[in-house]
Amino acid sequence: MSICRLIQLPGRIWKGLHSQGLILLYHRVVTLDTDPQLLSVTPEHFAGHLEYLSEHYDPISLSELYQALKSGKVPDRSVVITFDDGYADNLWNAKPLLEKYGIPATIFVTSGHINSDREFWWDDLERLLLLSDQLPGQLELTIKGRRWNWDLSGYPESETRHGDGIEPKSWNVTMASDPGPQHAVYRDLHRLLRPLSHEEQKSILSEIAQWAGAPRTGRKTHCPLTVSELKELNRGDLIEIGAHTVTHTMLSMQPVDVQRREIIQGRDSLEEMLGHPVQHFSYPFGSRMDFNRETVGIVKGAGIATACANYGLTLIGSTDPYRLPRVLVRDWDVEVFSSRMKDWFNE
């Protein structure tokens, strides 16, 4: 037996003695020309994922998982599908495929974006910086009292140079190089905007829109759900709606009273729209740095049953229901997806 297999053996033995489940995290089901954050999965690939799951695993709802956690035993090879944010394509593209394969899902919705004609801030940043036909040579912004200056004088000529051979439309944030200066600015501003409050983000994006000479209205391809779409998404037995705060703020960077308002008002607003309790929650962004003990305490105190994060792998019966691990799914074909599933289950 190889050294690698010997090293992996204790983990395999431990997992063999414990039933395992897995929560998958999606955001969008749509075909896009550009996707710098890699949030979208094409309908074709999503259908392949669902078919594979229905044949090889045991898809269950988040509520079923919650009941299993209460009993201390997660059904072996169980898989829960979740979506974050609340894009309209969750209704138009994802729900019909979930219904086709009879697979449940929980969709966590940012309540303050419902009925909005604005994009989520990360999409807005892409639209303003990466999709504009012409940008001025210098961008100056004051963020948290510090003055920032970026030189875009190489734009738009860089569009034709394709730094390191990267096509601008295929560029994403996992790549080490940038095809043009606007992509480097996008990276910087994404990092700087992420911890800010919603109002601060809006103010800076408005300033960037004015600088770029671009409208503030979002693209129809990137619309959040409307109230009527949310209700239609909720119709039937397969889809559960969960809460995802009011504004998708990074909770750990906000005072406790703001965290409480974001969590409780986000849940309450959805309940008022839907006319029934909302039992599940997911932390915006969801890494260990994006929420803290105070956040978890607020979620528990609000009577919410579960809260999903965005890290970790499989779960077992003793998993904390307020720190449920999830794995992020990318736009993989079924061959890559099946390989990832086997890796996650250590098969």
- Is it true that the peptide bond before 277 is cis, omega within 30 degrees of 0? no
Residue 31 one-letter amino acid: T
Residue 316 one-letter amino acid: I
pLDDT score of 24: 98
- DSSP code, position 144: T
Give the chain's length.
347
Pairing of the two strands 21-26 and 138-143? unpaired
- Model pTM? 0.93
Question: Residues 18, 282, 94, 239: is their CA dihedral positive or negative?
Answer: positive
Which portions of the chain are predicted below pLDDT 70? 1-18, 155-165
pLDDT score of 2: 45
The answer to whether the beta carbons of residues 103 and 50 sit under 8 Å apart is yes
Q: What is the 3-state secondary structure (H, E, C) of 154-171?
A: CCCCHHHHCHHHCCHHHC
Q: Residue 337, Cβ neighbours under 10 Å: how many?
A: 21
pLDDT score of 155: 66
Could you give the CA distance from residue 29 to residue 49 in angstroms, rounded to a whole number? 12
Phi-psi label, residue 154: left if phi above 0, alpha if psi -120 to 50, beta otherwise: alpha
Chain centroid, CA 175 distance in Å: 19
pLDDT score of 161: 44
Question: Residues 31, 310, 323, 21: is their CA dihedral positive or negative?
Answer: positive
pLDDT score of 14: 40
Nearest to residue 40, comparing CAs of 88, 80, 79? 88
> Which helix H or strand E contains 343, and what residues bound it?
helix 334-344
pLDDT score of 170: 93
E strand intervals along 245-337:
280-282, 306-308, 327-328
Give the model confidence (pLDDT) of 2-60 as tens digits: 444 444 444 454 444 457 999 999 999 999 999 999 999 999 999 999 999 999 999 99
The answer to whether the beta carbons of residues 277 and 295 sit under 8 Å apart is no
Residue intervals of the chain classified under CATH 3.20.20.370 are: 11-116+224-344
11-116+224-344: in CATH 3.20.20.370:
yes
> Which helix H or strand E contains 126, and what residues bound it?
helix 121-130
Burial of 146 from C-beta contacts in 10 A (0-12 / 13-18 / 19+): exposed
Phi-psi label, residue 79: left if phi above 0, alpha if psi -120 to 50, beta otherwise: beta
pLDDT score of 112: 98
Phi, psi of 235 (to 5 degrees): -70, 135
- DSSP code, position 137: S
Residue identified by tokens 């559960």 is: 240
Residue 48 CB-half CA count within 13 A: 16
Give the model confidence (pLDDT) of 266-294 as tens digits: 999 999 999 999 999 999 999 999 999 99
